[in-house]
Structure 1
């Protein structure tokens, strides 16, 4: 066993452990690792992550080919899995019943919304530790705008998500009988301008939830996939309605019903909220409506709207309006008011105007997985202080 481990154990037993180590713990290796992650004195080697003011945790990861490759592969697989199960649920819900020849209505809508919402929930939770679980090009754009992702990685992940959407639609088309019926179309008298703004506002809602639950680190961040999946479910209920269009054809000898076209989301927009989700089925079906562009421009505008609103809140220090929600010891000691000033005072940092996304809650090195925030001096990991 390395000598430095014995030395650390001796420090703990003799109650001479450095400030960044707990005297009640018997796991000095973990404590040393925590010290290295935070970059505090007492770690055996250089910090794993370096906290820089105004940066989000994802920027602490070294910008290397290996990390970018893992991010691209992870986002491809995650986006594929999310859209595969969502498309498969839509295909099943749009398959006519053999007896009546028509799908249900409200139950059909609920089934399809659950397919998309819970598919996103499960796969975001699965890939959250790998890539962040974005699965949406406009969410990737929002992270780049908020400083949560390097632009180069953002471009690579953006392309990976688009390709994954096409691949997921292709696999569903091959596995399930009948035509692929998960494309997005306007309907119910919805104009192109109305469809554009519906896509924009629903996407803004989705992206803002992602920013506040997943990008801004807090004690509830580990539950972010639940909120992200539920907000997609709610938006699907608002923006999506499904129907299958039939036409009666008459011949000289008999009358029968044949399916003319199968369309998803005909009453409003289909609730794409995701260019990869809208593009994939249209590529496989080789059918692009003249207004396909709204499924790109609308979500992109929604991403800009959500990012801009988050930047607006950050400029005015939204965390001081309702402090104490994460209830750290250092936040509680500061009492009501602008506790970010107390953090700067204790940390020795100058009290200057924060940039968008530069709050104390963002100065965490992946603390969300432990359910704790970093304070001015000590940091809690579970019930231990390191």
Structure 2
């Protein structure tokens, strides 16, 4: 997922002479002679930072706040669901209402916050998605696929996401009474190996949707947050009962730190999503190698564009047609017509 260029902010920074912008005129770089710039510099002092540093700060701050909000509401909803009185029946059976409630809360929280931060940071909120775009993860695969994050920004963003997960869990534990019941644990009789592969396949589904609707630009890219939220909701429906439906190391790390609970199989919530991300990458690489866009061309066209494409294909000649030169117009006496440009008449 690519980050915006922050062109407007960069232009303002160039006006202030921030960074290594050489050749700026004295009047443009002196706030005393430019009232508008003086006001901007006073209200937004971060614009004096070089563009790369400033954008990294914005991306890191945005990912921290976005991840915090996403996980805060997800954790709070899970806490409400798990604190509700037990329903009639065996306690070992999955409660469809409980599972659906938790899945809806996670999916809606992700969709809302991705949509809010999509134009700021890309709305990653997941270290596996962040590292997917970084050469730190897989030079030959992930960087080729997405290439949306420089290495330095990837490190900053991942740290921000992990800290945001811990902060969100801490705030939920402080605000809601009783023990915090949002840890990701194996359930339903699932073994460690089963839990690992459940996390892997569910993360692969989520990451592949992110790649196809957000990284691959098309006419419905602006609806990517909706598709991502729906995909996460679907994955949570499957995974909540068996693994807690992590799909995100930051989601598992926060409650584990706050509750001081690290089960022996905690590693599956790191390795599973990592393998799932690489699985989604590998399938996408295969599609690109097979030139998937040629398989179903025009799928993104509207009716008018499809009609134009169909019309142009009908008038397309496979072989070039030799152009025949029209005979020169003559009068009845056999005299060429007057040359309109020069005004000279050519006699026979």
How far the C-alpha of 1:96 sits from its partner, in A, is 3.3
Q: Which residue number corresponds to residue 294 of structure 1?
A: 268
How far the C-alpha of 1:326 sits from its partner, in A, is 2.0
How far the C-alpha of 1:176 sits from its partner, in A, is 0.3
Q: 1:115 aligns with which of 70, 87, 105?
A: 105
Match of 1:94, SS state, is: helix
Q: Which residue number corresponds to residue 223 of structure 1?
A: 223
Whole-angstrom distance in 2 between the partners of 1:68 and 1:94? 38
Query: CA offsets per residue over residues 293-336 of structure 1, 9 Å max, x none?
Result: 00000000111111121111112211111111222788876669
How far the C-alpha of 1:143 sits from its partner, in A, is 2.5
Q: Which residue number corresponds to residue 55 of structure 2?
A: 67
Whole-angstrom distance in 1 between the partners of 2:288 and 2:232? 25
Query: CA offsets per residue over residues 64-96 of structure 1, 9 Å max, x none?
Result: 000010000000000000000000000000113
How far the C-alpha of 1:189 sits from its partner, in A, is 1.5
Q: 2:71 aligns with which of 70, 78, 83?
A: 83
Please give the residue correspondences for 1:313-352 in structure 2 after superposition, counting only pairs within 5 Å.
313-327=287-301
Do 1:185 and 1:269's aligned partners in 2 also have CA atoms closer than 8 Å? yes
Match of 2:243, SS state, is: coil
Whole-angstrom distance in 2 between the partners of 1:98 and 1:233? 23
Q: Residues 290 and 335 (structure 1 numbering): CA distance in 2 closer, same or farther, change over 3 Å?
A: farther
Whole-angstrom distance in 2 between the partners of 1:330 and 1:122? 32
Whole-angstrom distance in 2 between the partners of 1:76 and 1:134? 10
Q: Which residue number corresponds to residue 171 of structure 2?
A: 171
Q: Which residue number corresponds to residue 7 of structure 2?
A: none
Match of 2:102, SS state, is: helix
How far the C-alpha of 1:98 sits from its partner, in A, is 9.3
Match of 2:108, SS state, is: helix
Q: Which residue number corresponds to residue 181 of structure 1?
A: 181
Match of 1:89, SS state, is: helix
Whole-angstrom distance in 2 between the partners of 1:334 and 1:155? 45
How far the C-alpha of 1:240 sits from its partner, in A, is 1.1
Whole-angstrom distance in 2 between the partners of 1:296 and 1:99? 33
Q: Which residue number corresponds to residue 271 of structure 1?
A: 245
Show structure 1 runs of 4+ deviating over 6 A.
328-332
Match of 2:168, SS state, is: helix
Q: Which residue number corresponds to residue 43 of structure 1?
A: none
Do 1:142 and 1:207's aligned partners in 2 also have CA atoms closer than 8 Å? no
Whole-angstrom distance in 2 between the partners of 1:285 and 1:140? 26
Please give the residue correspondences for 1:244-283 in structure 2 after superposition, counting only pairs within 5 Å.
268-283=242-257
Whole-angstrom distance in 1 between the partners of 2:84 and 2:238? 23
Q: Residues 111 and 319 (structure 1 numbering): CA distance in 2 closer, same or farther, change over 3 Å?
A: same
Question: How many residues of Structure 1 are paired with residues of Structure 2 in the alignment?
Answer: 250
Q: Which stretch of the first structure deviates more once superposed, 204-213 or 63-72?
A: 63-72
Do 1:141 and 1:303's aligned partners in 2 also have CA atoms closer than 8 Å? no
Whole-angstrom distance in 2 between the partners of 1:198 and 1:330? 42
Structure 1 gap ranges (5+): 1-32, 34-61, 242-267, 337-386
| Structure showing the higher strand proportion among its residues | 1
How far the C-alpha of 1:115 sits from its partner, in A, is 0.6
Q: Which residue number corresponds to residue 42 of structure 1?
A: none
Q: Which residue number corresponds to residue 148 of structure 1?
A: 148
Q: Which residue number corresponds to residue 15 of structure 2?
A: none
Q: Residues 334 and 127 (structure 1 numbering): CA distance in 2 closer, same or farther, change over 3 Å?
A: same
Match of 1:240, SS state, is: helix
Task: Answer yes or no: is 1:97 the counterpart of 2:85.
Answer: yes
Q: Residues 331 and 70 (structure 1 numbering): CA distance in 2 closer, same or farther, change over 3 Å?
A: farther
Structure showing greater radius of gyration is 2
Whole-angstrom distance in 1 between the partners of 2:81 and 2:203? 24
Q: TM-score, normalised by structure 1?
A: 0.61
How far the C-alpha of 1:104 sits from its partner, in A, is 9.1
Q: Which residue number corresponds to residue 57 of structure 1?
A: none
